[in-house]
Amino acid sequence: MIEARAHRKQQQPVVTLVRLVSAKWLATLAAGIMVCVSPAASGASATNYGYADLVARLWPAVVSITVRTMTPALSSEAASSARTVRSSEDDLVGSGFIVDPSGYIVTNRHVVINAFSITVTLSDGTRLAARVIGHPPGIDIALLKVDAKRPLPTVEFADSDAVHIGDKVLAIGNPLGFGETVTAGIVSALNRNTGESPFDNFIQTDAAINHGNSGGPLFNLQGEVIGVDTELVTPNAASTGSIGLGLAIPSDDVAFAIAELRKYGRVRPGWIGARLQQITPDLAEVFNLASTDGALVAAVDKGGPAEGAGLRPGDVIQGFNSRAPSDVRALRRMIAKSPLDNEAVLTIRRGVEERRVKIEIREYPPARMVADFPFQLTQPPPQTAGNVGLQMVAMSDVVRRRLNLPASVVGVEVATVRPGSMADRAGLRPQDVILQIQDQAAANPGVVKTALQAAQDKALDAVRLLAVSPSGQAWLALPLAPKKAPR
């Protein structure tokens, strides 16, 4: 379940970028909490007592995440039904950190994508079920929510623009399912580009991070989060341990995405309607440019803000408001984070002439965003249906398209299914759609909840559901009480 991808650059060795989510095959070794600080990278504080006080303060806000995903059935009988099954071998581990006392948790999208269930373990051993609030486009971040009975400890974001190469850092996470682990190192490089998205701006660190560290925080020595541990770089796919090349998403990018998710339920990046490209040394030469800073306009969308501002292919954008983007990725981030429906001032070079152009920042068109970033961006808060282990949300357009359902079809989407529950036994899976319960159309989650409660009040053993999944439409029997063992 580990994603790996090789990148070949001209006259450079092949490296593999590995998402840091791990199969929980070492869970039996997680008998306690382990603290590992590399002597070479520890860089003891001025008191020469290491980082104990700082770690003790940060530890409670870092969580371990266990995820169960769905995999295709292997048996011919199961395959013929075209359903999906889960296995204990599908348990994956990752990390996260709490950013709000009410239970909002940040992690990586690749930790929780396609999750069958998500369990968050706090530093004191408390286990809580989590749901996905959303995961925005173009950045490997997800926001989770747990319902705790008490306010939870939190950590704060730092200004990642203030991070410097050589700064000391701490990484806390859950490598290989061992449990929370702290490692120390420095910021080795900034603005690393792996081609994962058009906005890449990774912080590189030599603090040891491994599979299972995904989603964990990278701290400065003030105890602030400067980044989210996301990937490690290895010489080849067979070598997947840390070699001191870890990558983290900068906190400024994460904070922007999380704030948007919490305020609007989705992320609304800014957009100018122009296709931008990096200026290479060769392009700088043919365009008579002194440097490769900024971005080159390759195309202008008809009817977009760039067309209205008079931008043309071949224009070189060298300034955005009062800032000078170092490359095309920096410019894209500036545009994405800009206030919507406001004007920005571009400094452009056209031929030998420099000019300033006002341009409107609009929201990235949602339909285009779905096409450019083909995954579901947000998920509304689910409703729990009785005690059958089922949570539901209103049906989304993403699921309608996936199941090829017309707009006239009503139903409710399965958000989560608790492993081993009665909903699990019935064969329900996340993103299935319940169309009917008993003889009643499942118009919304409330209808299903009411029908289940009525059936339980009548002491029925089960109810019938008409559901649709990728394998098609089928009737399911949802038990309302555990089966009694035969005498």
Domain boundaries, the chain: 4-264, 270-363, 383-479
- Count of CA atoms in the C-beta half-sphere (13 A) of 169: 34
Average pLDDT over residues 286-307: 91
Q: Tell me which of 95, 117, 188, 214 is the catalytic residue.
A: 214
CATH of domain 383-479: 2.30.42.10
Q: Tell me which of 22, 90, 95, 140 is the catalytic residue.
A: 140
Concerning whether 211 is annotated as a catalytic residue, the answer is no
pLDDT score of 87:
37
Q: How far apart are CA 69 and CA 77, in angstroms?
A: 21
pLDDT score of 42:
40
Q: What are the CB-based long-range contacts (under 8 Å, 24+) for 27-33? A: 27/91, 27/93, 27/177, 29/177, 29/178, 30/177, 30/178, 30/179, 32/179, 33/123, 33/179, 33/180, 33/181
Q: Which tens digits make up the pLDDT trace of 45-100?
A: 434 568 899 999 999 999 999 988 754 433 333 323 223 333 334 467 899 999 99
Instruction: Check if the beta carbon of residue 197 is closer than 8 Å to that of residue 135.
Output: no
Chain centre to alpha carbon of residue 79? 30
Instruction: Check if the beta carbon of residue 260 is closer than 8 Å to that of residue 266.
Output: yes
Q: Which residues lie closer than 8 Å to 237 by C-beta, 6 or more apart?
A: 4, 6, 16, 18
Q: How far apart are CA 439 and CA 158, in angstroms?
A: 55
Exposed, middle or buried, 458 (CB in 10 Å: 0-12/13-18/19+)? exposed
- Topology of the domain comprising 4-264: Thrombin, subunit H (2.40.10)
Q: Which tens digits make up the pLDDT trace of 103-121?
A: 999 999 988 887 878 999 9
Q: What is the dihedral of CA 245, 230, 234, 70, to 10 degrees?
A: 160
The CATH class of 270-363 is mainly beta
pLDDT score of 444:
87
Q: In what order do the strands lie in the sheet with 316-320?
A: 270-271, 353-363, 342-350, 316-320, 295-300, 274-277
Q: What is the pTM of this model?
A: 0.64
Concerning whether 110 is annotated as a catalytic residue, the answer is yes
Number of separate helices (H) and strands (E) present in the chain = 11, 30
pLDDT score of 381:
54
Q: What is the DSSP letter of 234?
A: E
Q: Is the pLDDT of residue 409 over 80?
A: yes
Average pLDDT over residues 182-187: 93
Instruction: Check if the beta carbon of residue 127 is closer than 8 Å to that of residue 119.
Output: yes
Q: What is the DSSP letter of 484?
A: P
pLDDT score of 419:
80
Q: How far apart are CA 74 and CA 252, in angstroms?
A: 43
- 179-197 core/surface letters (b: 16 or more CB in 10 A; e: else): bbbbbbbbbbebebbeebb
Asked if the domains at 4-264 and 270-363 fall in one CATH topology, the answer is: no
**Position 465: which residue type?**
L
Q: Tell me which of 90, 91, 95, 110 is the catalytic residue.
A: 110
Within a 10 A sphere around the Cβ of 356, how many other Cβ atoms? 9
pLDDT score of 386:
66
Concerning whether 372 is annotated as a catalytic residue, the answer is no
Average pLDDT over residues 119-148: 89
H or E element: which one contains 369?
helix 366-372
Q: How far apart are CA 208 and CA 478, in angstroms?
A: 47
Backbone torsions φ then ψ of 341, nearest 5 degrees: 60, 30
